């Protein structure tokens, strides 16, 4: 049954809000780890708020797109939690190398790996149509 426009809007709004909240929460440990690894002075409230804002916006923008494209059949809590943990671990490992590019690549790979795994585990299994003909219309002679 197709979704109405209003229902689709509500679902996307919920996904965007959830993505924004998860992104903002994920910014807290990333800010702390980034400061520790780089040897910079401890983060102040402005650092945390800035990073929470940026990661919240990214989560709100990319969360619905990721959920609709790859995680449609995955329970919502798993679709939010597992990629976030993967991105945090990947970013932290990238930070430990001291390379900005490995930080970004680690976060992207850490996000992509759980998404790929969840997509495979919760993939909708295709079924044959009710009128499937095993001979594909060929006449047996």
Range of the domain at 23: 5-121
**pTM for the predicted model, two decimal places:** 0.67
For residue 84, the model assigns a pLDDT of 85
Residue 125 banded pLDDT, cuts 50, 70, 90: low
In a domain, 135, yes or no: no
136 is a domain residue: no
Q: What is the number of domains present in the chain?
A: 1
Kindly state whether residue 133 falls inside one of the protein's structural domains. no
- Mean pLDDT, residues 44-73: 89
Tokens of 58: 């990214």
Average of per-residue pLDDT across 106-116: 89
DSSP letter (8 states) at residue 44? -
Does 137 fall in a domain? Answer: no
- Whether the CB-CB separation of 22 and 63 falls below 8 Å is answered with yes
* Helix boundaries (H) for the chain: 5-38, 45-69, 76-97, 100-121
3-state secondary structure 65-76: HHHHHCCCCCCH
Considering the domain boundaries, does residue 35 fall inside one? Answer: yes
Asked whether residue 127 carries a pLDDT value surpassing 70, the answer given is no
Is the CB of residue 23 less than 8 Å from the CB of residue 59? Answer: yes
In a domain, 58, yes or no: yes
pLDDT value for 44: 93
- Over 90: is that where the pLDDT of 46 sits? yes
Q: How far apart are CA 90 and CA 118, in angstroms?
A: 17
Which pLDDT belongs to residue 62? 87
């Amino acid at each position: 049954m197709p979704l109405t426009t209003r229902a689709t809007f509500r679902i996307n709004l919920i996904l965007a809000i959830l993505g924004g909240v998860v992104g903002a929460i994920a910014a807290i440990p990333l800010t702390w780890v980034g400061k520790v690894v780089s040897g910079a002075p401890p983060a102040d409230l402005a650092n945390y708020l800035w990073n929470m804002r940026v990661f919240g916006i990214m989560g709100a923008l990319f969360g619905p797109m990721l959920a609709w494209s790859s995680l449609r059949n995955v329970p919502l809590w798993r679709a939010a939690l597992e990629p976030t943990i993967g991105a945090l671990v990947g970013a932290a490992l990238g930070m430990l190398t001291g390379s900005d590019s490995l930080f970004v690549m680690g976060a992207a790979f850490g996000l992509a790996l759980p998404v790929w795994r969840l997509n495979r585990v919760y993939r909708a299994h295709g079924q044959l149509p009710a009128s499937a003909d095993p001979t594909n219309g060929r006449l047996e002679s």
